[in-house]
Amino acid sequence: MSPDVTDAAGTPTESAFGVAVAQFAPGDDAAANLAEITRLAELAASRGAGLVVFPEYSSYFTPQPDASWLAASEPVDGPFARALAALADRLDVHLVAGMIERVEGERRVSNTVVAVAPAAGVVATYRKLHLYDAFGQQESEWVAPGAVEEPETFVAGGLRFGLQTCYDARFPEVTRRIVDAGADVVCMPAEWVRGPLKEAHWRVLTTARALENTVFVAAADHAPPIGAGNSMIVDPMGVELATIGESTDVAVAWVSAARIAAVRRVNPALRLRRFGVVPR
């Protein structure tokens, strides 16, 4: 049972919803990746999570993109998503994870996030908009950017969830559009590559996206040595509710509409803003 959220007087106001981030280091063995996803999802569910966010490229990953990504790519309704859906049904939890999606007629793949719900299968998808052509990397060589479309959201635990990916965190307009679509919680699978100051960037940007939009952000990164780790759940006031560090593990935090409403009463930034977001 989820804990109660209380007001300043200690009076219960509603039940909160358990959200987990699951941190691991996906590799080039798809079966092993699914086995680790299963283990971590079971662990998160046992700790009370009703939704678990896994990293970017959870289905398949190599440190450098190459032709093997094409061979490992799948449609959104392929084996990886079906396995997630079966796991969601068995555990009665929502799952969010990054995968390599096949793009018909393209020599590149799509960096895609899928959300699956119990007894419903895939309920939302997101294709990474901003590719990691930075810090010496060239993701666009093997990955096609997603089209700018209306954000897809889904409901779990009485809250609305949206999706974005990794490098998108450096572009605040992405999160703002998701929040404008009604999201209370933004799920952000990532493969945040380690490097000078990169961990600091990860913490600042993830926190900023939560704080400026007064929403929860659940950001799941790869575990080291390739990823920076530090998967975290940040609340609408910019507080890190849970952080994993560098290990393979899950962390659970309790999110609620009551907390969002309380923060927005004292910080009505969304209501006071004078600019919108217009796609280029």
pLDDT at 105: 83
Q: Per-residue confidence at 2, pLDDT binned at 50, 70, 90?
A: low
pLDDT at 4: 55
Distance CA 103, CA 40 (A): 29
**Is 198 a known active-site residue?**
no
All residues at 6 or more sequence positions from 21 whose CB lies less than 8 Å from its CB, including other chains: 52, 53, 218, 219, 220, 231, 232, 233, 242, 244, 250, 251
Q: Which residue has the higher pLDDT, 260 or 11?
A: 260
Per-chain mean pLDDT for the chain: 94
Q: Which of 36, 74, 101, 128 is catalytic?
A: 128
Identity of the residue numbered 168? D
Rounded to an integer, the average pLDDT of 107-130 is 97
Domain spans in the chain, listed from the N-terminal domain onward: 16-270
pLDDT at 143: 94
Whether pLDDT at 263 is above 60: yes
Identity of the residue numbered 17? F
Q: Which residue has the higher pLDDT, 136 or 91?
A: 91
pLDDT at 10: 38
Q: Per-residue confidence at 269, pLDDT binned at 50, 70, 90?
A: very high
pLDDT at 8: 46
Q: Per-residue confidence at 1, pLDDT binned at 50, 70, 90?
A: very low
Using one digit for the tens of pLDDT, what is the confidence trace for 140-194?
999 999 999 999 999 999 999 999 999 999 999 999 999 999 999 999 999 999 9
pLDDT at 23: 98
Question: Strand runs (DSSP E) across the chain, as ranges?
Answer: 4-6, 12-15, 17-23, 51-53, 94-101, 109-117, 121-127, 143-144, 154-156, 159-163, 185-189, 216-220, 232-234, 240-243, 249-255
Q: How far apart are the first and last CA of the chain?
A: 45
Q: Which of 12-21, 78-87, 102-111 has the highest mean pLDDT?
A: 78-87
pLDDT at 266: 97
Burial of 206 (0-12, 13-18, 19+ CB in 10 A): buried
Is 3.40.309.10 the CATH classification of the domain at 16-270?
no
Burial letters for 2-19: b for 16+ Cβ neighbours within 10 Å, e otherwise?
beebeeeeeeeeebbbbb
Q: Is the dihedral of CA 194, 227, 149, 17 positive or negative?
A: negative
What is the pairing mode between strands 121-127 and 109-117? antiparallel
Q: Per-residue confidence at 14, pLDDT binned at 50, 70, 90?
A: low
Whether pLDDT at 3 is above 80: no
Task: Specify the pTM.
Answer: 0.94
Using one digit for the tens of pLDDT, what is the confidence trace for 217-233?
999 999 999 999 999 99
CB 205, CB 188: distance < 8 Å: no
Closest CA to 148 of 177, 122, 107: 177
**Is 166 a known active-site residue?**
yes
pLDDT at 12: 37
Cα–chain-centroid distance for residue 181? 16
CB 236, CB 260: distance < 8 Å: yes
pLDDT at 5: 54
CB 162, CB 185: distance < 8 Å: yes
Q: Which of 74, 101, 139, 166 is catalytic?
A: 166
**Is 173 a known active-site residue?**
no
Q: Is the dihedral of CA 144, 74, 225, 222 positive or negative?
A: positive
pLDDT at 15: 79
